[in-house]
Structure 1
Amino acid sequence: MVVLFLATSFFCVGQAAKDRFKDWAQTPPMGWNSWDCYGPTVQEHEVKANADYMASHLKDYGWDYVVVDIRWFVENTKRHGYNQIDPRYVLDAYGRYMPATNRFPSASDGSGFKALADYVHQKGLKFGIHIMRGIPTEAVKRKLPIKGTDGITADQVYTTENQCKWLKDNYTIVADKPGAQEYYDSIFELYAEWGVDFVKIDDLSAPIYHEDEINLIRKAIDKCGRPIVLSTSPGATPVTAGPHVSEHANMWRMVNDVWDHWRHLDHLIGVSQDWFSYIKPGTWPDCDMIPLGRLSIRGERGDDRMTSLTKDEQYTLMTFFTIFRSPLMFGGDLPSNDDFTLSLLTNKEVLKMHAESSQVRSLYYDEDKTAITSKNENEDWTYLALFNLSDSAPSDVWVNLSDMGMEGPVKISNMWTNEVLGTVKGKFTQNLAPHASGLYKIEKD
């Protein structure tokens, strides 16, 4: 009996340690990411301006991550794509990328993102960065040493196989080579020193799911001594990888980049049908960034604009992202928000659902209509989202309340307007315009 008890105790402790990272994102992370508005060109003053706005207008609603996206380590980046002709990389002596000081002046003297992270933290917010998987091609070319090893250099741990096809900054790391784990350990040691709270890592999930490198990354984060949320990107993450990614990452992309086009949102809603069972505290299927507000100031996709989604489509996007409990990473330039955009980000009832709901499930889905429901067990509320996905005409979208376990009369409220729609029994129907949606709170009458 004593042996059994000790074995069981050991297993419980081991499992708790293994799952510790899930404590870092018990609710879906919410914040701002620089990609949709600045592509690979964001500068320090722009990051600070968005942090200032978040602290003043959004922090009280749960928004708290400020994330610097791709290529912060390249001095001569450009809009509308990437400079892959003559990029000027900034690396330290151990082959680790450092912020380009012509874009991030506070990173001078090798201090990295420490000062910028401190600025964000002083506002009660959290700081994040984007990296590419693998080891820098420049580190390989210069045969730079890997910190924590006895003389192993970058050229001894790489392969050109499965190199990212759309950005050639890094090579693949050969996971079982001596020095591979140490390289990932060294970069996360650096990020912990800077005060990084969130890392989005690209080219991990598609077109190949890089399980070996995800394992290296998970171990490195667990060793670094700082809670760092791990976001894998881009999609589509294969559903067959669901059991693995949900045990190693806090969030993972279901599709490729979502921009301000209806077809992207329509596709996302369809793909999401395979991921409902993975919506759990600590690990979240990710809908991608929210392409609302002012986009592409110096972006990769298109020119400076306010989102091209209609108001109905913007409500549909936010309704889907919130009832699905996706992480919410706003992509537009926050200081450029108009009142309508801000209203989409500060609805207390909608954000309460996003933070507190459980049992998220699809009631039905077809090409033209879908219905999603969830529960708030603390309040004994049921949530319901109805969507008209058709392009052509208004349509009745309905549910049988019995499908949500409701047999008697219930009170239904519109969550975006706080309007009480009345008491309903049996069947609930709404006539919705093309691409429109409705979000409802249901209470026992």
Structure 2
Amino acid sequence: MKSRWMVPALAVALGVGLLTPQAMGAPQAAAPAAVPMIDNGIGVDAPLMGWSGWGFLQRDPSAAKFRAQVDALVSTGLKDAGYNYANMDDFYYKCPGSQGPDVDSYGRWVTDEALFPGSGGKDGMHVLGDYVHSKGLKYGLYVTPGISAQAVAKKTRIMGTSYTADQIALTSSAQNFNCKGMLNIDYSKPGAQEFIDSWAQMFADWGVDYLKLDGVGPSKTADVRAWSQALEKTGRPIALNLSASLSASPTWSELANSWRIDGDIGASPRGYSFPLTSWTNVSRRFDDAARYQPYAGKGGWNDLDSFGVGNGENNGITVPQRQSHMALWALASSQYMLGADLTNLDPGDMALLTNRRLIQIDQDGIPAARVIKDGHQQVFAKREANGTWYIGMFNTDTTSSHTFSLPLARLGLSGTARITDMINNDKPLGTVSTYTTSVAPGGVALISAVATSGTGGTGSLVNAGSGKCLDVNGAVYLPGTKTQIWECNGGLNQLITPTSTGELRTMAATECLDVFENGTTPGTRVSQWNCHGGSSQKWTVRSDGTIVGQNSGLCLDVTGGRTANGTELQLWTCNGSTAQKFTWAGR
């Protein structure tokens, strides 16, 4: 069903962005308060990179197999390209059956030392961590929520307390995909947090730098909070990744460094490595990346899962599809985690995995917005602080090539721009105002666009009354974030991009200046929201410096005419005051 705000298609390329509830007429949720981001100093400016054991090792890991992958991570040059985490996944612990994992005297999982032998009094997982660190890499491990039914049956003591496992456990089953036998924890009970604290400290003692908490969803928020707090208490910087969460939210931003927003990328039955993925599993991530884009950034990142690229025909996808796979992950600033057998890399795949432009686009820490979705044609874009645009034009049709014709003004890039191919060795593609190209089935045209003069239509809006800039509070992407005035500093959250459709785009041109609930009365607040093409996001910038909401006829206004940092923006009856006049700086 088409939105009533859809603009006509241009040639065969143009459609509308992802529809949100607001775009379809549903009321907005109240603007959230400032969301505290996880503060462990990890992945603050860019998503993490590395290799994840599940993609290839699956149900059959061992110390020898894992060390071989670690060695290859170094010898192939992947470490030097930035892939510096080596993450062990499931099946490193003893799992005798449905009664749950074997546990130590404090109720924590016991390493299967037949597969991961200890040495010198060190646990096998500690030994493995030492090996990873000896290679100059960081070490990741895996856990699931809850407590083993074995710990409950044995009434194991909770370390440092007088409480026992049976006193904190519920009878309901916690999510453990493979071993089973984990029970939920009642976090209102004394000893519950202390149990997680002791487990986290054990991981820290082993040298863990990254913890994947699997089987997580909104119903496991208490578990996530407990683990987040426990990892912080260890004093060791440990990244927290939430797996199979299938969502993103301000809550996850507060508690974790990354979160999975879809299921496993693997196409094979569980327990088999190949094929690594399928086009079905890759292509469904387009909607994921668009839907959850506003929740990523500043220490917390969407995780589209590991790459199904590296092993040639065993990948399960074509060469153009591999390029689309990696380009989407890069534009989305997803975790860049390898999932292949690194000891048997395909040369063409290796070139793609180490493509410096793809890595650069991923590591800029700017999650791109989907600006076009029209049948099999999708466009994602983002703007760097230096004015460079990165644009991906994806053809999701697996049978036919498609021709894209993209007016750059649609994105907010005025005039002409120099176009460069980001995948194929920075090949120059000319200077244009509308970029036209044919894209192979399942493929992508990934380009940079640099304005030939000025800043491509992007600059800061300076308020005449205060001399301060229009600013997105906290430099976050979250929908509902308040807009305000603040001392001008040139930050990304003060760069505004006017588009040819009347939008004023914020935060790397991925979000929009929005009238709350499309209000038409004086005093309605103006905040940041996902761009959706609705009338609440259409503005007219007049020559006298006023900015008028097209639906209301009211002016963008600094509340009360105040001049203090943090003063919120609103709509108000146009009156010609300096509180309602803005000038462009940097355009």
State the TM-score, normalized to the length of structure 1. 0.86
Task: Note the C-alpha offset of 1:86.
Answer: 8.2
Task: Note the C-alpha offset of 1:444.
Answer: 2.8
Q: Map 1:251-266 to 2 at 5 A.
A: 251-259=258-266, 260-266=277-283
CA RMSD of aligned residues (A): 2.3
> Is 1:163 the equivalent of 2:174?
yes
* Equivalent residue letter for 1:35: W
Q: Map 1:54-73 to 2 at 5 A.
A: 54-56=73-75, 57-73=77-93
Check the 8 A contact 2:56/2:340 in 1, yes or no.
yes
Deviations 1:240-297 (A, max 9, x none): xx011111111001111112111111211112221111220210011011122349xx
The residue aligned with 2:239 is 229
Assess, with a 3 A threshold, how the Cα gap between structure 1 residues 166 and 18 changes in structure 2: closer, same or farther.
closer
The residue aligned with 2:306 is 289
Structure with max Cα Rg = 2
Q: Map 1:268-307 to 2 at 5 A.
A: 268-294=285-311, 306-307=314-315
**Equivalent residue for 2:212, pick from 200, 205, 216:** 200
The residue aligned with 2:411 is 404
Check the 8 A contact 1:139/1:155 in 2, yes or no.
yes
The residue aligned with 1:429 is 436
Listed as ranges, the gaps of 5+ residues in structure 2 are 1-33, 267-276, 453-587
Assess, with a 3 A threshold, how the Cα gap between structure 1 residues 85 and 144 changes in structure 2: closer, same or farther.
closer
Check the 8 A contact 2:327/2:392 in 1, yes or no.
yes
Report the Cα distance in structure 2 between the residues aligned to 1:279 and 1:356, rounded to whole angstroms: 12
The residue aligned with 1:9 is none
**Equivalent residue for 1:438, pick from 426, 437, 445:** 445
Report the Cα distance in structure 2 between the residues aligned to 1:64 and 1:213, rounded to whole angstroms: 27
Report the Cα distance in structure 1 between the residues aligned to 2:416 and 2:401, rounded to whole angstroms: 27
Q: Aligned residues, how many?
A: 407
Runs of at least 4 residues off by over 6 Å: 15-18
Assess, with a 3 A threshold, how the Cα gap between structure 1 residues 362 and 22 changes in structure 2: closer, same or farther.
farther
Check the 8 A contact 1:284/1:327 in 2, yes or no.
yes
Check the 8 A contact 1:112/1:194 in 2, yes or no.
no
The residue aligned with 2:423 is 416
The residue aligned with 1:28 is 47
* Equivalent residue letter for 1:258: I
SS at match of 1:105: coil
The residue aligned with 1:323 is 331
Assess, with a 3 A threshold, how the Cα gap between structure 1 residues 230 and 400 changes in structure 2: closer, same or farther.
same
Check the 8 A contact 1:40/1:69 in 2, yes or no.
no
Assess, with a 3 A threshold, how the Cα gap between structure 1 residues 294 and 357 changes in structure 2: closer, same or farther.
same
* Equivalent residue letter for 2:283: D
* Equivalent residue letter for 1:218: S
* Equivalent residue letter for 2:289: S
Moved more, 64-73 or 97-106: 97-106
Report the Cα distance in structure 1 between the residues aligned to 2:361 and 2:398, rounded to whole angstroms: 28
Task: Note the C-alpha offset of 1:164.
Answer: 2.1
Deviations 1:154-180 (A, max 9, x none): 111111325327441311111111111
Task: Note the C-alpha offset of 1:371.
Answer: 0.6
The residue aligned with 2:381 is 373
The residue aligned with 1:44 is 63
Percent identity, please: 27
* Equivalent residue letter for 1:145: R
Q: Map 1:339-418 to 2 at 5 A.
A: 339-358=347-366, 360-377=368-385, 379-418=386-425
The residue aligned with 2:200 is 188
Check the 8 A contact 1:107/1:114 in 2, yes or no.
no
**Equivalent residue for 2:188, pick from 151, 163, 176:** 176
Task: Note the C-alpha offset of 1:367.
Answer: 4.0
Listed as ranges, the gaps of 5+ residues in structure 1 are 1-14, 77-83, 296-304
**Equivalent residue for 1:314, pick from 312, 319, 322:** 322
Check the 8 A contact 2:37/2:299 in 1, yes or no.
no
Assess, with a 3 A threshold, how the Cα gap between structure 1 residues 157 and 102 changes in structure 2: closer, same or farther.
same
Task: Note the C-alpha offset of 1:234.
Answer: 0.7
